[in-house]
Amino acid sequence: MDRAPLLVLVLLILCLFSDLTDANKFDLAAESPMIFPLSYSSLPSRVEDFRRRRLQQSQLPNAHMKLYDDLLANGYYTTRLWIGTPPQEFALIVDTGSTVTYVPCSTCKHCGKHQDPKFQPELSTSYEALKCNPDCNCDDDGKLCVYERRYAEMSSSSGVLSEDLISFGNESQLSPQRAVFGCENSETGDLFSQRADGIMGLGRGKLSIVDQLVDKGVMEDSFSLCYGGMEVGGGAMVLGKISPTAGMVFSHSDPFRSPYYNIDLKQMHVAGKSLKLNPKIFNGKHGTVLDSGTTYAYFPKEAFNAIKDAVIKEIPSLKRIHGPDQNYDDICFSGAGRDVAEVHNFFPEIAMEFGNGQKLILSPENYLFRHTKVRGAYCLGIFPDRDSTTLLGGIVVRNTLVTYDRENDKLGFLKTNCSDLWRRLAAPDSPAPTSPVSQNKSSHTISPSPASSESPAADLPGVFRIGSITFEVSISMNNSSLKPNFSEIADFIAHELDIQSSQASLIHSFSTSSPKTKALLL
């Protein structure tokens, strides 16, 4: 899309709306909210912090933050975070396997070219580098606190620990807070080449953004993530507590078991049939870890073979084919129909059974990815792990609301439409997320969630609707199998007009030889 004509239009519209926006626009610096690959390390020094006291306040503010990108196209999901005074914007990978939040700094000597400009501490009036002290690792000169993180895929990040004002976006009730983050001086591997600016660390540890906010008493000890479905992307994130939802299933998560968010996985079922596996297989090394920064799922070899063989047994009509990349021995099958919505007609459901007997149903989109070269072909998104840890990446929880209830040492799972969830969260007085399908109470399972229609835009409190602007967008494609994500276009227009995403809605879209859509700005 050509941005230049749109930017000219933006200037004209902003002049027209100047009285309204000056009076009612959210001030990011004064009233902002809060919207993260797996690195094995030793347990944080303050393990006792994991057993947090119950906060006296029950109505602490939440931060509603939108998720961007697509899990398989990008390998991660990002959210927006603002650092400094005045605020500087960054796109950060949401990562429950990392404890440090960091961005490239203007002083970085070996940082890649990313989505946004480097952080310039010299332009922030609230910036402060942390001085060397007994509670941190110090640089060679003994003057500043430093950090270094190395990841399983051989990338690394290092820099100076700093403190500044961090803001979370206009949909958040949570005001900007001073927090410690990493000001990068060097990055290698995937961190150097990725488009995202850095990492938002949601793991357990004193440097985690979650731990810092909980320690300040400004939010409760819980957060939630919801990743969009196959070929949809996007989603939502909530920092703070949300009300338990009917149909949500839970697993115990032992903070002393490992420094990561683990679940009590005991058994796997394929097409309703239990696999003959010793439950101890899911408890090796770090146990079964849920990591939002990992793309696929990795099981110990014995469990992987059992799952693979059971799935193959259920799809005799499909043909085994080579994967899209010759460098990898992917397990792929053709003949499953050209429409993603049909994939559940060919592949079985997989159930994860927890120690409490509850089961989380994985629909095909939770363990498959689409073949990029053969239409109607799909590949297993699960792989054998080289050690005994069971690592569950984002693919397992697509279109699943995952609540990390750290206060009560449990994780909750609810199948829902995550792209639609963001629109409901952004709307004022929106209801709590619910599963759009009935639940099987006897077996404590969650069934797959169908796609839902577009939600109408909601009026924002304190904003008067004085008119509307309609854009008609026509997109021509040579490849008829590709489907444009029109909701992202509406978000782009909202961003250019400096209004909230909830004020831009999709009126109608239809497909012909030239698919079209209209976005209405309210």
Question: pLDDT tens across 300-321, in order?
Answer: 999 999 999 999 999 999 999 9
Q: Given 69, 164, 197, 291, which residue is catalytic?
A: 291
Each residue's pLDDT tens digit, 130-155: 999 999 999 999 999 999 999 877 89
515 pLDDT higher than 80: no
| Mean pLDDT to the nearest integer, 393-415 | 95
pLDDT > 70 fraction of the chain, expressed in percent and rounded:
70
Each residue's pLDDT tens digit, 252-291: 999 998 889 999 999 999 999 999 999 999 998 889 999 9
Distance between CA atoms of residues 148 and 187, nearest Å: 10
Computed over every residue of the chain, the mean pLDDT equals 78
Residue 52 Rama label (left phi>0; alpha psi -120 to 50; beta): beta
Q: Which two tokens stand for residue 520?
A: 């209405």
For 48-52, 172-176, 188-192, 359-363, which range has the lowest pLDDT when averaged over its residues? 48-52
Closest C-alpha to 500, from 80, 124, 4: 80
103 pLDDT higher than 70: yes
Each residue's pLDDT tens digit, 232-250: 888 999 999 988 778 999 9
Q: In the prediction, which pLDDT does 449 show?
A: 36
Q: Is 221 a catalytic residue?
A: no
Q: In the prediction, which pLDDT does 35 show?
A: 29
| Mean pLDDT to the nearest integer, 81-95 | 97
- Could you tell me the sign of the dihedral formed by the alpha carbons of 515, 477, 79, 33, in that order? negative
Supply the DSSP symbol for 506: E
| Mean pLDDT to the nearest integer, 420-433 | 63
CA angle 514, 518, 521 (to 5 degrees): 160
* Cα–Cα separations (whole angstroms), residue 519 to 419, 454, 472, 508: 17, 12, 7, 8
Each residue's pLDDT tens digit, 117-133: 999 999 999 999 999 99
- Using only the alpha carbons of the chain, give its radius of gyration: 23
Q: Which residues of 14-47 are buried (b: 16+ CB within 10 A; e: fewer)?
A: eeebeeebeeeebebeeebbbbbbbbbeeebeee
25 pLDDT higher than 60: no
| Mean pLDDT to the nearest integer, 486-507 | 59
Q: Is 190 a catalytic residue?
A: no
Lay out the sheet containing 516-521: strands in order across: 469-474, 516-521, 504-510
Which residues are registered as beta bridge partners of 250? Answer: 412
* pLDDT class of 361 with cuts at 50, 70, 90: very high
Q: Where are the alpha helices (DSSP H) in 139-196?
A: 190-193
491 pLDDT higher than 70: no
